[in-house]
Amino acid sequence: MSLAYREGLAGQGRPVENVATWEGMTIRPRLGSCSFSVVPDVTPPAIPTGLTAEAGDGVVTLDWNDNTEDDFDYYSLSRNGSVIAGVLLDSAYTDEAVENGSTYSYTVTAVDAGGNESDSSAAAEATPEALGGGQIPGDFNQDAGVDISDAISVFGYLFLGRTAPDCPAGLDFNGDSALDLSDGIGALNWLFQGGPAHALGGDCVQIIDCQDSCN
């Protein structure tokens, strides 16, 4: 027995009725019909929560809480309103395409297997900064100690045209963002008269634009 069935024929530009041939006979079967229904998923995942953005040196590290929907598919992460990672499976991301000194705002959405996307999470901001090198505050000559020669060098630089310090910000004894006479005097006062310590304390601190010199 052979049965051939063709549907949707066209002849001379016109549709042809459905035709079946069987053992040399041509019949025009009545097509049965069936129906089915699809209930579409229009429910997006919950809005991601707990987004944090931690700034580093040339990097921002992002983390947020996991979504728990059964049909959760991926996250979409945006920086300043533009998607930077469109299909993220992990609830964390490291953004290295950032510049120090700029502030960035991040949001994340969750998308399910049906393509439904949640609203954006609350924004998290971060400003990556260069960390700078370690300095002993007040150590003009970078020998990892502060003594009278450091204070004298401040006066020499300010008034006698002597060698400039490699880390001027580390010599701002009174923390007023200016390097002047009062800083040299402040250092001498601390060294010999029991005066107040350097505004940045006595331990190694990281100062932007300065090199490492604590050891």
Interface ranges with Ca ion (CB under 5 A): 63, 91-92, 139, 141, 143, 145, 150, 172, 174, 176, 178, 183
Q: Measured between alpha carbons, how far is residue 93 from residues 71, 90, 123 in Å?
A: 22, 8, 15
Nearer to Ca ion, 98 or 187 (CB): 187
CA gap 215, 210 in Å, rounded: 14
Q: Is 66 helix (H, G, I), strand (E, B) or coil?
A: coil
Q: How far is the CB of 62 from Ca ion (least distance, A)?
A: 9
Minimal distance, residue 94 CB to Ca ion, in Å: 12
Minimum distance from CB of 66 to Ca ion (Å)? 6
- Which residue, 141 or 189, has its beta carbon nearer to Ca ion? 141
Beta bridge partners of 178: none
Closest-by-Cβ residue to Ca ion is 91
The minimum distance between CB 42 and Ca ion, in angstroms, equals 27
CB of 56 to Ca ion, least distance (A): 17
Closest CA relative to residue 95, chosen from 117, 75, 109, 77: 77
Residue with tokens 């331990």: 203
- Does residue 64 contact residue 108 with C-beta atoms inside 8 Å? yes
Q: How far is the CB of 99 from Ca ion (least distance, A)?
A: 25
Residue 18 or 147 having the CB closest to Ca ion? 147
Nearer to Ca ion, 7 or 90 (CB): 90
Select 63 or 117, whichever has its Cβ closest to Ca ion. Answer: 63
Q: Which is nearer to Ca ion, 9 or 181 (CB)?
A: 181
